[in-house]
Amino acid sequence: MTTAERTPVLLDGVRTPFGKYLKGLSTLPSRELGAQALRALLERHEHLRRCDGVLLAQVLQGGQGQNPARQVAASAGVDPIVPALTLNNVCLGGMAAVADASRRVRLGEGTSYVVGGVDSMSRAPHVGYLRQGASMSGLNLIDSLSTDGLWCALVDESMGVLSERANAELDIDRHVQDDIALRSHERAAAARDAGRLAEEIVTVHVDGRTVEHDEGIRDTSRERLAALRPAFAEDGTITAGNSSQMTDGASIGAVTSAAAAERAGTRPLARIAGYAEVAGPDASLHLKPAVAVEQVLERAGVPLSAVALLEINEAFAGVVEASRRRLSVPLDIVNPNGGAIALGHPLGGTGFRLVLTLARELARRGERYGVASMCGGGGQGAAVLLENLN
51 annotated active-site: no
Quick one: what percent of the chain has pLDDT higher than 90? 95
The whole-angstrom separation of Cα 185 and Cα 201 is 17
Mean pLDDT of the chain: 97
Condensed to tens digits (0 to 9), the pLDDT of residues 308-322 reads 999 999 999 999 999
Q: Where are the beta strands (DSSP E) in the chain?
A: 8-15, 19-20, 53-57, 84-87, 112-120, 126-127, 142-143, 151-152, 157-158, 204-206, 209-211, 247-257, 270-279, 307-312, 369-376, 380-388
Condensed to tens digits (0 to 9), the pLDDT of residues 217-253 reads 999 999 999 999 999 999 999 999 999 999 999 999 9
pLDDT score, position 136: 66
Catalytic residue among 45, 185, 286, 345: 345
Mean pLDDT, residues 20-26 taken together: 98
Residue 345 has pLDDT above 90, yes or no: yes
Q: Helices then strands (H, E): number in the chain?
A: 12, 16
pLDDT score, position 143: 96
The whole-angstrom separation of Cα 198 and Cα 76 is 21
205 annotated active-site: no
Catalytic residue among 45, 51, 91, 152: 91
pLDDT score, position 132: 73
Residues with Cβ < 8 Å from 79, sequence gap 6 or more? 49, 50
The whole-angstrom separation of Cα 294 and Cα 281 is 16
Mean pLDDT, residues 19-35 taken together: 98
Catalytic residue among 51, 185, 286, 375: 375
DSSP 229: P
Condensed to tens digits (0 to 9), the pLDDT of residues 33-79 reads 999 999 999 999 999 999 999 999 999 999 999 999 999 999 999 99
Which has the closest alpha carbon to 357: 312, 302, 307, 292? 312
Give the pLDDT band of residue 1 (cuts 50, 70, 90): confident
Which has the closest alpha carbon to 100: 114, 79, 81, 82? 114
The whole-angstrom separation of Cα 337 and Cα 192 is 8
pLDDT score, position 128: 85
Condensed to tens digits (0 to 9), the pLDDT of residues 122-176 reads 999 999 877 776 666 777 889 999 999 999 999 999 999 999 999 999 999 999 9
345 annotated active-site: yes
> Which domains can be identified in the chain, with CATH numbers?
3-123+245-264 (3.40.47.10), 271-388 (3.40.47.10)
